[in-house]
Structure 1
Amino acid sequence: MLPNDNTIETEDDIESKASAQGHEFTLPSPHSSSNRPLKLDPHGYPLRPQPSDDPLDPLNWSPWSKCFVLLQVSFLGFLGPFSQGCINSAFALLSGAMGVSVTVASYSTTIAIVFAGIAPFIYSPAANIYGRRPVYIISTAIGIAANAGSAVCTKWGSLLVARAFVGIGTSVGMGIGASVVGDMYFTHQRGKYMGIYVVFVTNGAHVAAIVGGFTAKYAGWRWCYWVPTIILGVTWLINIFCLPETLYQRSSVVGDQRRSRFQLFNFKGVNVKRRPSLWDFTHCFYMLKYPGVLLAGLYYSIAFGVGTVLFAVTGAAAFGSIYKFDTAQVGMAIGISTTVGSLLGELVSGSVSDKVFYYFDQREEGNAEPEKRLHATWPGAFILPAGVIIEGVCFQYKTHWSGPVMGIGIGAFGLQIVSTSIFAYLTDCYRPQSAEISTLLNFGRLTFSFTLGFYMIPFAKETSYGIAWAVLAIINVVLYACIVILIWKGAEWRKRIGKPTFGYGL
């Protein structure tokens, strides 16, 4: 339907069209007639999904309310990698206190990352049944207790157990945060607002390097655990009073029954109709049957490891041995460059992603496929590996320290561009299953990332930094074929396979 077309389509009309084309469409709420005229976006095209008439529908919340919720969820996503990585700059101090080697001390972060990748497989089905709010509140409380426990541990074994619970308690924002963005924003807005969420998640580890380096140097390694404990505690108190339920189960609302705003802030914000079953915990894996999820997830997982984690896990060894940096200097070299690169990337990635989608939507009279959004990833696909190669070559030839720092920033810039569009694309395709998709992306990036620390420095010593870093950059470029294939065949495959059979009414 063209913006100036005099034909008025109803929700029934667009539901049939969307179903035939494989687009996202949300069934109308019982509050309204299914034959009412469509609600349009600012460009005159039908909103995707169509909001209900219920003022408590998150799609109908005011922009300021949505923004406040987005910032809370994004900050929780930030605190996951921040809490897990704040100790990274203090491994030498930790190893001395616990009587283990520096390499063994690094396992305290590794175990947190592993459990951070696993825990969201439980959070995802729980969030879809009981709501986002209770899962956030309970898991964050676990994270606070676990970080405090880590700070007071005197034995290595008990510290590892506490760190495992740090991963469990702080991973909720990383695992299901994207689903909250999908709950509140329309398709034409998701590039911008999903980008804000992604930049927080990406920069948690970057800021941890800066804060952890100075904290360890001037306050001791235990404060690398106390600082996340305090920040998580303050955030948790804000969430209790200010984080509403965003899961809106349209199919659970009967007749003209309306909820009060108070219900959005208690543990009854969602009308629970059933108990969780074993099938619910397989939904994440079931989503791998869809080529869009599998291929985009594979590329994103490797890109995240290459474009941010590689810098973090090798920075201390590389900057320390080549430039003789101390912990604080290493933290600044990695943290400032990655943070600035990511922020600059977000300034262009979110808005460009939405504009690219609107361009194709305009050309195709409001019927653009979600795969069109992936065209916005082209610049990042080449900027990211270029930054990795620059850092590797600068390390190899021992240039001025500004050389590898510049490479890190360029790599982070490219990563932000591809990450934002991939998250938005997958949410556009499978919004009711956004919690499962967010969990899979979190698991994929952490699974690849935590292994980098084991082999990249030895690989560089056996060959050279230039060769080792170039190998990862080439792998990343080759895997971009996954995105190219989706641009070419993704829509066709999505229509042929159909939609998942769970999650409707969300």
Structure 2
Amino acid sequence: PEATYSAFSKAQRLGIIIIVCLIGLASPFASVTYTPAIPTIARDVGVTVSQINLTVTTYLVAQAIAPTIWASIGDIHGRRPLYIATLAVFIGSCVGMSVTDSYAALMVLRAMQAAGSAPNVALGSGVIGDVVHVSRRGGFMGFYMGLGGMGTAFGPILGGLFAEYTGWHGIFVFLTAFFALCWIGYALLVPETLRGIVGDGRVPPPWYGRPPVKLLTPPAAPNAEELRAALPPKKKVDLLGPVKMLKEVDVVCCLLFAGLHFVTWQVSMVAIATILADRYGLSELDIGLAFISNGAGSFVASLVMGKVMNRDYKVQLCKEAAAKAERGEEAPQEVEMIERARIRSLIAPTAGLNASVIAFGWTLQYRVHLAAPIIFHFFIGGLNMALLSTTSTLMVDLFITRASSVTASINLVRCCFAAVGTAVVQPMIDAMDVGWTFTTLSFICMLSCPLMLAEYVYGHRWRRKR
């Protein structure tokens, strides 16, 4: 099945995924380059840190809503036109952020940034589902998440550098230039990949799906029109499709689990900038450097989990083949209980993440040597990415024809949760200090763990009922 799944060559697949990954950096870059500069922005704009944190909340709310609308369109009408349109919106908002000093404008432009960048994360997952077979999808999803982790690692450094040496406006001048180049590269090189339009890649898409440079485009099949006729009929766009997916029990289990743990990561990223400035007296550049550990953890874990997921897939396939052989049945070509293949390695990362969150909070509260919270922040970033990449890959596996929509569902839940967390973290720290704040968040996360156990045991039954 892998050999016939996609007509794109290995080099073409890799080229497409690299460009998609670079565009996928828009969302983490826009988020984390901003956080080290929060104290400076608050001072320059003349508002409090809590008010600037509301711009982060606004970003997260828009980040949750925008993919819900765009992803459904991308699953029906194609990835390419949406990439071109949404990235243009993002670039325009960066231009505005580079010149404004108005708090009201900050709120609006941050929402536009999220609306232009967040859909690309869902579209990227869809592209990987389009061109990569399920047996290797975990590795490519890990690679995709890994480059996002690099954005998380180096974004705060860039934010700190620009905030200290050029002013915080320089952050958005850089984002404008970098992603304008990405936009040009995508528009020139990347073809449409949606399987409902191009099949395995050999059916020529409409004119808007064809790039001027054919380097990453496979040759059309001689019987392209026959293949086009065999494609499933195009469905109507359902803008509420990602929301409707939340009625599925297995989706709810995965998204509540991943969303609650994502909150701990988001809150740690927002809170640490102010805590390191107030309690450790660090400059914007030093704060940016402190974020390296979290991003490095994200990058390392995503690559490791990609390999782990590919291994787990093979292990589960062997188990199912052995079980069928005992019953005298033909060996399966693909894993039937994909839930078990993906979830089997989540116990250790889940336990480690919650322990790291608690330790992170208490080391900051007692002002332990700076190395301690930075080390725990490394594990928070890495282990959260392990959970996120695994659940994201599982959701794409379960809804391969609606990969962008289900990724938008993931984004919707985790960003709504994170928006609430960002809004309440400072009042929580003011009321109960840092240690008990992160202990409380960890306890809430642990309450969601039985949901993944239920998905492991019963998920294949729930899927078959669909």
2:10 alignment counterpart: 63
1:21 alignment counterpart: none
**Equivalent pair of 1:396/1:464 in contact (CA under 8 Å):** yes
SS in 1 for 2:195: coil
2:154 alignment counterpart: 207
Cα RMSD of the aligned pairs, angstroms, is 2.6
1:332 alignment counterpart: 289
2-side partners of 1:258 and 1:368: how far apart?
29
Alpha-carbon distance change, 241 to 470 in structure 1, aligned in 2, over 3 angstroms: same
1-side partners of 2:307 and 2:167: how far apart?
42
Matched, 1:493 2:462: yes
2:260 aligned to 302, 318, 326, which one?
Answer: 302
1:14-163 equivalences under 5 Å are 39=1, 41=2, 51=5, 59-163=6-110
* 1:95 Cα deviation after fit: 2.9
Amino acid at match of 1:229: T
* 1:235 Cα deviation after fit: 0.8
Matched, 1:457 2:414: no
Amino acid at match of 1:75: L
Matched, 1:185 2:132: yes
* 1:236 Cα deviation after fit: 0.7
* 1:266 Cα deviation after fit: 4.4
1:317 alignment counterpart: 274
2-side partners of 1:364 and 1:198: how far apart?
29
SS in 1 for 2:25: helix
Alpha-carbon distance change, 93 to 319 in structure 1, aligned in 2, over 3 angstroms: closer
Matched, 1:411 2:380: yes
Amino acid at match of 2:320: E
Q: How many residues align?
A: 437
Deviations 1:219-254 (A, max 9, x none): 01111211111111111111111222111226989x
1-side partners of 2:199 and 2:441: how far apart?
48
1-side partners of 2:275 and 2:52: how far apart?
18
**Equivalent pair of 2:38/2:273 in contact (CA under 8 Å):** no
Bigger RCO (CA 8 Å, 6+ sep) = 2
* 1:193 Cα deviation after fit: 0.7
1-side partners of 2:306 and 2:46: how far apart?
47
1:371 alignment counterpart: 339
TM-score (norm 2): 0.87
- Worse overlay, 445-454 or 188-197: 445-454
Amino acid at match of 2:54: Y
1:240 alignment counterpart: 187
- Worse overlay, 351-360 or 459-468: 459-468
Deviations 1:170-206 (A, max 9, x none): 1222232211111111111111111122233355344
* 1:452 Cα deviation after fit: 2.1
* 1:108 Cα deviation after fit: 3.0
Give structure 2 stretches of 5+ with no counterpart: 218-227, 322-331
* 1:418 Cα deviation after fit: 1.6
Amino acid at match of 2:20: V
* 1:263 Cα deviation after fit: 7.1
Alpha-carbon distance change, 128 to 318 in structure 1, aligned in 2, over 3 angstroms: same
* 1:274 Cα deviation after fit: 8.9
Alpha-carbon distance change, 475 to 102 in structure 1, aligned in 2, over 3 angstroms: closer
SS in 2 for 1:376: coil
**Equivalent pair of 2:86/2:120 in contact (CA under 8 Å):** no
1:402 aligned to 371, 389, 408, which one?
Answer: 371
1-side partners of 2:388 and 2:188: how far apart?
31
Alpha-carbon distance change, 263 to 319 in structure 1, aligned in 2, over 3 angstroms: closer
Alpha-carbon distance change, 106 to 260 in structure 1, aligned in 2, over 3 angstroms: closer
2-side partners of 1:260 and 1:370: how far apart?
31
Amino acid at match of 1:289: K
**Equivalent pair of 1:84/1:166 in contact (CA under 8 Å):** no
* 1:65 Cα deviation after fit: 1.1
1:164-179 equivalences under 5 Å are 164-179=111-126
**Equivalent pair of 2:197/2:203 in contact (CA under 8 Å):** no
**Equivalent pair of 2:29/2:152 in contact (CA under 8 Å):** yes
2:329 alignment counterpart: none
SS in 2 for 1:281: coil
